[in-house]
Structure 1
């Protein structure tokens, strides 16, 4: 079973509430222990030096050593807790984010952006939690403690420290305001840049053959320049304010020393108070400086978390339905309609027909008539916007995707295999496939002998997207994948586009084999040879059914031979064309 997608992504962080409370408690202890250095200097200047007591100095040093050891221990524990919170977040969200990544193109329009951005967001969030940024944020609330101690030393020292703290807080807020928009734009530009490079890489052969490299390089360079410009703006703002905060902290520390010296001269403070207040002021403002230094990472992690929440909410599933029995009787399409994800336009609409077990349906029609959209509707890739698609009596949305996939075989128009072995691809990457089922699927697609002639047979690594195979080999192995496990419904979209005569004959035998065992086959075709194994034909035009019925009757009504020139015809192929002015639905 796949990991369910959380309906409320923030609950993942809420589950770490106990760990965050522990980090807050440790931060309180650490900041209390940070007072050790100031108190030590106060005692040395006001007690040890006037009394010249060596035992007192040794005792203070031992106490300070113990306090520093505890401080270091608590700091290390806090860092380990935050690192484990990041790891726990990754463990809880990695599978839901990956599944959401797979579902995102099916529920939203593909915009050509960076498809791997959610995984990068998760990595950035985990890295931020394991870094020094969260520790600085947990230390910030303790700044008033140091200011209270400064006021306890002398009101004037407290006022100077408070003024410096306010200035640094304003610097922090300015950093947030001035970097927010630039960071968001940089992320969008990075997504566009990565999407362009990934698209060009996937289509490297076309890019090379058509000489498109320089033009695509120019587009990528423009997007990259935009990304660098926004990133540079963010870095400049954060770096400038970071440098300013360092200067202000050193200036404030010197100002506190000067005020302390003035008070010592006036007899209103001791030398110990002067030194201790300077150290204390520096410590009070350190979290602000550290927060500014980590602000870029903080903003990036925050925006990544927002994108992850939006992705998970957009692709969240309801509670998994009850597991249904395997379908075995019929496929029913009831006034169904659908369209591309993110679109408002129906690609197919008001489609109705019914197929009994053992039926074979050929879907034909002109280009852009809705044939492939109908195929996606039948296998549940595109959800039904209207009407129902049912296997036996159950609508497709009543099935869990992992359960429905066991009863459906699908060969898309654009064949995509995944990096791995031939056997893994046929078995749909099942962790423990039945070897006999893999071989049976290969035999059903008539590719068993072809696979045995590959370098390592079924264990041959096919490379990314099946790059080690020819187009025909990829299509036939994808057909075996569609037939794996003897699915009840098999939908084949242009299954013979890359096949030779031998491959087309094997395709026909595979279609007849599915029908003979009581399955249902739907074949989307342009070439009539793909229809040899079906007994019914459905004609699509403009997203609607124009004709449906027995193959011979429908073909006689709506198809006519196309006149061919003197060029020799391909063997066993009769060019046909959908006649203009198709008749009404039969």
Structure 2
């Protein structure tokens, strides 16, 4: 079990990774310094050729200078290769460290916010990694060393230095202006594009319904609204950024001509040589290169910065995944203490739920639609965290218990079966590495669920690939395989949410047998169901009414109490505090089964 205070004291995974990544900063600084110093080679070679070779007509001097320049350029190329590999290694390492944390965060967020399924954190991580491994980061690494080139130009002649520096300031101002006028439209475009992606993914995910009910055209119209908005803001940002880039390129060419013209003037005035004129032009080009590159790659830089901020919001809340110490197997005692669950806006889904189950007891959870049954089941399974109160399994809070350890002892069959692409054996084994021992447990779970013979009749048996979400299986087959997955490993607590909603008579009989066997082995069972042949087998019943606990107790007591209320409903049809007619109808069926 994870202690909350300890978890809050642990640094987040992102902060831990970035702290370790700082180790690469020092070598990156040294490599960048070496690269930029060696980029002076061209200008120095030009000066020496003009001053020493042309003046002395010495072929030996030219050969030596050329060899020295070639050696410097080869060294610079080697440093570039090493720097690029270092950046690629850092990006890959960061992805390997953070991807599991972000996937965990995405799964937990999706579990706590149904309908908000998204893999955006992983896409954001890819964007940040790609930024580290692309030329977009080079302006950031090279910009501080531009001062070397400006200083070298000043040493050649102050006028040339001031011209280059003023030109650099103007280009830097253009880069800031580019960021200012494109920031808002790019952010709006990104948000609109994400809304469009969500709508498109929903349409693809529900393609069967879309095609069957002719919903494609209205969905396209609905999708086009954020898509058009994203395109418009993207075009606006591109126009503004394009105008700045075009002006910057023109200004850069004009500046290059200006420094050549000024250099020529100084040569005519005998204040500089032809070598200084050419070298100053080369050095100025190198000094302004990071600013020019920054303008050209600004969109990628802004995107990576926004992605990093989103990663901070997600990964900044989660510690790095570490192995957890296994807890002893629970016996199955369930205690629910004043569970409360609220939705945004303050409205309560559940309020004041209290009950206790001993190991081996079977409880039915009933109530009208929207009463909060599935929400309570999700809390008991550990998929959701309650707003208040606790759900305890053998005295341990399931919300604070590490999921990979708790999952060994809890079997859960949700309303949406949620199978995964892979084989039947992998799904039942919860994707544990298959080996003879694991497969033995898979077969045992299938036999308990009464689905072993069905699986053997499939083309490849347990090795049958079921497709995404179990697409090749019928609804009843998916539900029975989901039951086998829930029974895998002989859980101490079994939670079944409408386990017979898609079953035929054969499947329902197998379900009743499975519940009986699990009960005999002292497995605590909580099931949401209305059909009398299942509910009549339970020990206790919890009735929920509009998120609140209405009745809880032994099966016969609850049946009798509901029968009394049902008789009152006949005389008081508009009574607001009494069960709905749907529940009353179920109660009458329960009584018939009981009397039979």
Structures share fold, TM-score greater than 0.5: yes
CA contact (8 A) 2:332 2:524 kept: no
Tell me what 1:57 maps to. Answer: 62
Is the partner of 1:577 in helix, strand or coil?
Answer: helix
- 2:225 aligned partner: 222
**Greater alpha carbon shift after TM alignment, 425-434 vs 237-246:** 237-246
Name the residue aligned to 2:570.
none
**Aligned partners of 1:526, 1:227: CA distance in 2, in Å?**
48
CA distance in 1, matches of 2:251, 2:63: 35
Q: Is the 2:12–2:317 Cα contact (8 Å) retained in structure 1?
A: no
- CA gap 1:11/1:321 in 2 versus in 1, 3 angstroms: closer
TM alignment of 1:188-199, pairs within 5 A: 188-199=191-202
Q: What does 1:102-251 correspond to in 2, within 5 Å?
A: 102-107=107-112, 109=113, 112=116, 115-251=118-254
* 1:193-342 paired onto structure 2 within 5 Å: 193-316=196-319, 323-340=326-343
2:574 maps to: none
Distance 1:321 1:52 in 2: 77
1:541 maps onto 2:545 in alignment: yes
Q: Paired residue for 2:431, among 429, 432, 454?
A: 429
| Matching residue within 329, 352, 355 for 2:354 | 352
Displacement after TM superposition at 1:163 (Å): 1.0
Retained in 2: the 8 A contact 1:6–1:96?
Answer: no
Query: How big is the shift at 1:323?
Result: 3.6
Compute the displacement of 1:241 (Å): 2.4
Which of 374, 393, 403 pairs up with 2:376? 374
- Distance in 2 (CA, whole Å) between partners of 1:158 and 1:317 is 50
Q: CA RMSD in A?
A: 2.3
For residues 432-461 of structure 1, the C-alpha deviation after alignment (integer angstroms, 9 at most, x for no partner) is 351111011111110001111111111111
Contact 1:561–1:577 (Cα < 8 Å) also in 2: no
What is the 5 A alignment of 1:44-83? 44-83=49-88
**Correspondent of 1:388 among 367, 387, 390:** 390
- Corresponding residue of 1:400: 402
Secondary structure of the residue that 1:325 maps to in structure 2? coil
TM-score, L = length of structure 1? 0.92
Q: Aligned partners of 1:551 and 1:110: how far apart in 2?
A: 32
Write out per-residue CA displacement over residues 517-536 of structure 1, whole angstroms, 9 at most, x where no aligned residue.
Answer: 00111111133333143122
What does 1:499-538 align with in structure 2 at a 5 Å threshold? 499-538=503-542
Distance 1:270 1:329 in 2: 91
Aligned CA distance change for structure 1 residues 464 and 321 (closer, same or farther; 3 Å):
closer
Flag the 1:73–1:93 CA change in 2: closer, same or farther, 3 A.
Answer: same
Contact 1:239/1:293, CA 8 A, preserved across alignment = no
SS at match of 2:386: coil
Distance (whole Å) between structure 1 residues aligned to residue 28 and residue 46 of structure 2: 28
1:442 aligns with 2:438: no
Deviation at 1:51, TM superposition (A): 2.1
Contact 2:466 2:473 in 1 (8 A): yes
Please state how far the C-alpha of 1:394 moved relative to its aligned partner.
1.9
After TM superposition, give the deviation of residue 537 of structure 1 in Å: 1.3
Q: Which whole-Å CA distance do the structure 2 matches of 1:182 and 1:314 have between them?
A: 29
Contact 1:358/1:515 (<8 A) preserved: yes
Q: CA deviation at 1:55?
A: 1.7
Distance 1:211 1:339 in 2: 36
After the TM superposition, which of the residue ranges 229-238 and 39-48 deviates more from structure 2? 229-238
Which of 87, 90, 95 aligns to 2:92? It is 87
Say if 2:26 is the partner of 1:37: no
Q: Give the C-alpha shift of residue 21 in structure 1.
A: 1.4
Q: CA contact under 8 A between 1:508 and 1:532: conserved in structure 2?
A: no
Rate the CA distance shift 1:318–1:139 in 2: closer, same or farther, 3 A. Answer: closer
Cα 1:98/1:319, change in 2 over 3 Å: closer
Measure, in 1, the Cα distance between the counterparts of 2:73 and 2:125: 35
Greater Cα shift, 472-481 or 230-239: 230-239
Q: How many residue pairs end up in the alignment?
A: 565
- 1:478 aligns to 2:482 (yes or no): yes
Tell me the equivalent position of 2:27. Answer: 22
Could you say if the C-alpha distance between residues 92 and 438 of structure 1 is closer, same or farther in structure 2, counting changes exceeding 3 Å?
same
Q: Distance in 2 between matches of 1:561 and 1:439?
A: 45
Which segment is superposed worse, 372-381 or 550-559?
A: 550-559
1:481 Cα deviation (Å)?
0.6
3-state SS, counterpart of residue 233 of structure 2: helix
Go from structure 1 to structure 2 and tell me whether the alpha carbon gap of 1:97 and 1:337 turns closer, same or farther (over 3 Å shift): same
- Is the CA contact (8 Å cut-off) linking 1:40 and 1:64 kept in structure 2? yes
In structure 2, relative to structure 1, the CA distance for the partners of 1:62 and 1:83 (3 Å cut) is same
Aligned to 1:571: none
Distance 2:305 2:115 in 1: 23
Counterparts of 2:296 and 2:530, CA distance in 1:
61
1:100 aligns with 2:100: no
Any conservation in 2 of the 1:103–1:315 contact (CA below 8 Å)?
no
8 Å contact 2:330–2:393 — kept in the other structure? yes
Query: TM-score when scaled to structure 2?
Result: 0.90
Match of 1:569 in 2: none
The range that moved more, 243-252 or 365-374, is 243-252
Structure 2 residue aligned with 1:556: 560
Q: Does 1:465 align with 2:485?
A: no
Query: Residues of 1 paired with 2:184 and 2:135: CA distance?
Result: 24
Separation (CA, whole Å) in 1 of partners of 2:11 and 2:431: 25
Q: Say whether the 8 Å CA contact 1:189–1:226 is kept in structure 2.
A: yes
Distance 1:343 1:94, change over 3 A: farther
